[in-house]
Chain A
């Protein structure tokens, strides 16, 4: 659909994704998903990995896709939930939990906003057979909301709140997403970032620097700012 006029490669996957399907994904490919996806972010990671809580459901048996997201959702008064928009949140904040989390859950696809540092792909995700999909935009909340057909379950809702709870979503043609990392640990974001960096010097040419520097421009606390 969305990729039709872009010249970009487009793939539809049924979940849980197999190892060979994950291995075939290349950075820059557009992906749509059908199956079961779960959400987990900092409070779920803390609860399970730091506080030692048991997983509320056997993820290995049902879903290998971790979505860094919190939905705009509300109870519908009939025991279910209305899902409005769905958008990812920035994943770099969660990278410290990834090694243990992937080992514990067998997650093979991580979806979020903005990717993770390439080192995480090389050292953490790729060796565990996992790749990263980024959402598009960002803020395709309505399109992703459409892709969620049903809330299968939600855990720790009262304790962690709507945004941090663990949701299980049944999804259909859920996307689009863009493959950021592959099983070689390559990163689409890193590749584009490097290319843009090459032009930055020229951009600043002729613009004299301000008189007062800022903390943060150097890590040396003994430096003066002027």
Chain B
């Protein structure tokens, strides 16, 4: 049995960790880019960002004051049991959000979209978002939080099968150039590309690809993995670096996720996860223990399953 009180304290903890500590995969990726970046100004930016992460660690303060729109991704093991059920879990996540907003502090970014009113705690109608997924044969619950700004760097486009890979490349370039100027996308970014599904799935897949996979991770489909590398190289050949200054570091990694789509279409979404790529995960075990990490491990083989049955009959 997993106690909801434990979930609340773990959610509070990951809110804090995400806001303050940059994940090591991202930090290492940026350190690598410091070596290869060709422009003096973008190099200075990367250098300053590394100092900023050190300052955040030492002072225990948020690395970026725009603490984004805090949200959650919950993966529930099929054998997990919650003492207060799913409603209790959702309540715990909302409570943890409000408490962490005050304590860390996070910026209370969330306002009503029309009246601009707020509760000063990042909680409101449909906020924080909680997305759900499931995992067979385990009894734990994974709670991941992502803090991502949301004003620039994301786009959606309905392409068609005839537009091919060229169409995808053009669209990725369009988005990176448009939002890369003046550095509005806060690059170098983890670029997530959603391909397929319906329009909303396409957006969701792209966002999850950007926020829930780590630097260096490759899609298990070798051809998609190859396309990830190709898009990364393409983005880094724009001639643009951090803050839109002349340079070579736009894309720290590219992640693609796909979903079966309408036979006539090829919807594509592009998302950029910024220089403050904030994510943290807690795994709550049934015996009451909690483990923390920065790799959400969201896209499991089960998540990407293709057949009706699980385990996949063709894979056995």
Contact = CB atoms under 8 A, between A and B. Distances in A.
Interface of A: 1-3, 5-8, 28, 30, 69-74, 82, 84-87, 89-90, 114-115, 134, 136-146, 161-163, 176, 178, 188-189, 192-193, 195-196, 199-200, 203-204, 206-212, 214
B88 interface: no
Contact of A214 (B41, B43, B157, B163): B157
A30 B66 contact: no
B48 interface: yes
Contact of A138 (B105, B245, B275): B275
9 nearest CB pairs, A to B: A139-B64, A85-B65, A85-B62, A142-B56, A87-B65, A74-B105, A142-B55, A141-B65, A114-B182
| Residue in B43, B49, B162, B183 with the greatest tally of chain A CB atoms within 10 Å | B183
Interface in B126-181: 151-152, 157-160, 162-163, 166-167, 169-171, 173, 177, 181
Nearest to B276: A139
Given A140-B48, A162-B120, A209-B170, A70 B41 contact: no
Contacts, number: 200
Contacts of A208: 163, 166-167
Contacts of B274: 138-139
A177 to B, nearest CB: 10
Contact of A193 (B48, B104, B159, B181): B181
8 contacts: A2-B44, A8-B44, A72-B104, A84-B62, A140-B49, A140-B51, A141-B52, A141-B56
Contacts of B105: 72-74, 82, 84
Nearest to B105: A74
A211 B160 contact: yes
Contact of B47 (A2, A86, A134, A146): A2
A175 to B, nearest CB: 9
B63 interface: yes
Contacts of B48: 2, 136-137, 140, 143, 176
Nearest to A90: B184
Given A139-B49, A207-B170, A87 B59 contact: no
B199 interface: no
A190 to B, nearest CB: 9
Interface stretch (B205-213, B232-240, B285-293): B232-240
A199 B239 contact: yes
Given A141-B276, A193-B244, A214-B157, A163 B182 contact: no
Contacts of A212: 158-160
A95 B177 CA distance: 22
A141 B275 contact: no
A140 to B, nearest CB: 4
A111 to B, nearest CB: 13
A114 B160 contact: no
Contacts of B81: none
A139 B163 CA distance: 37
B151 A161 contact: no
Contacts of A84: 61-62, 65, 104-106
Contacts of B163: 208, 210-211
Contact of B49 (A6, A82, A87, A137): A137
B167 A143 contact: no
A85 B67 contact: yes
